[in-house]
């Protein structure tokens, strides 16, 4: 069994590990980190002041540390569990980077859909996704990937989509993601995380006729 796992890992290593494996692993880690930090921050009490307000996040941080230590101790006690974790990570990375592209958020009529070719439907879906990103940025400097994922993960849109799927779709559209995008979150506080900067969206950087005239002057 161990020899078969080693051979499978060797075959995976022969592939382009800087592609789907690295991208998927980073997306999974980003999703995990955002979830853990968000859960810890949610423990803060707004109705309290001083150390009492920060007691909730401290307790949750201790719980996360205890859980991490428990997983480490369990793997150390049963080393074969590490193979299961590795297999799960590879499977999740594959799923995160090989999900189907986004479909059009506003579903067209059945007769219109029948008249469209595959390329036309794909172009319409890509256009709708870019418009969604542009609308999410608005007048801000950018938008976090987690914010885009929350807006899509709801009925009628793209349920089940997370940060990994949003990042994969942006990569398919050649829209770069920056590691440190500073924008305000839903609570109105400044936060820095993976996101899309408005400077990387061509639709937000096309000069208007008035700006062209000023530049010529």
- Tens digits of per-residue pLDDT, 124-148? 888 888 888 888 888 888 998 888 8
Q: What percent of the chain has pLDDT over 70?
A: 75
Note the pLDDT of residue 66. Answer: 92
Please give the average per-residue pLDDT across 117-121, as a whole number.
Answer: 77
Helix 163-172 to helix 145-152 angle (10° resolution) is 100
Note the pLDDT of residue 19. Answer: 64
Weakest-pLDDT range from 35-44, 150-159, 202-211: 202-211
Note the pLDDT of residue 42. Answer: 77
Please give the average per-residue pLDDT across 104-122, as a whole number.
Answer: 59
> Hey, which bits of 63-177 come out as E strands?
142-144
Weakest-pLDDT range from 24-38, 98-112, 200-214: 98-112
Please give the average per-residue pLDDT across 64-89, as a whole number.
Answer: 88
Contact 177, 170 (CB under 8 A): yes
3-class SS at 178? strand
Weakest-pLDDT range from 5-14, 20-29, 55-64, 173-182: 5-14
Weakest-pLDDT range from 7-16, 77-86, 202-211: 7-16
Question: What is the DSSP secondary structure assignment for residue 202, as one 8-state letter?
Answer: G
pLDDT: is 60 or 12 the higher one? 60
Measured distance CA(132)–CA(103) in Å, rounded: 12
Is pTM, for the whole model, over 0.85? no
Structure tokens at 118: 């595959």
Q: What is the mean pLDDT of the chain?
A: 75
- Statement: residue 44 has pLDDT above 80: no
Dihedrals phi, psi of 94, to nearest 5 degrees: -65, -45
Note the pLDDT of residue 69. Answer: 92
pLDDT band at 114 (very low <50, low <70, confident <90, very high): low
Note the pLDDT of residue 101. Answer: 45
């Amino acid at each position: 069994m161990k020899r078969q796992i080693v051979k499978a890992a060797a075959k995976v290593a022969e592939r382009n590990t800087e592609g789907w494996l690295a991208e998927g692993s980073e997306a999974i880690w980003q999703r995990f980190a955002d979830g853990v930090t968000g859960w810890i921050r949610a423990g803060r009490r707004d109705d309290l002041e001083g150390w009492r307000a920060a007691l909730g996040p401290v307790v949750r941080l201790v719980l996360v540390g205890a859980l991490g230590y428990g997983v480490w101790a369990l793997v150390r006690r049963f080393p074969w569990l590490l193979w299961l974790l590795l297999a799960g990570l590879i499977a999740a990375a594959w799923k995160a980077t090989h999900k189907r592209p986004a479909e059009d958020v506003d579903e067209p009529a059945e007769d219109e859909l029948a008249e469209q070719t595959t390329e036309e439907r794909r172009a319409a879906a890509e256009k709708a996704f870019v418009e969604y990103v542009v609308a999410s940025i608005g007048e801000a400097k950018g938008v976090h990937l987690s914010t885009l994922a929350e807006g899509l993960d709801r009925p009628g849109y793209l349920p089940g989509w997370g940060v990994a799927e949003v990042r994969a779709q942006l990569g398919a559209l050649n829209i770069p993601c920056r590691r440190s995008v500073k924008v305000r979150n839903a609570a109105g506080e400044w936060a820095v995380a993976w996101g899309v900067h408005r400077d990387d969206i061509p639709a937000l950087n096309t000069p208007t006729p008035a700006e062209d005239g000023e530049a010529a002057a």
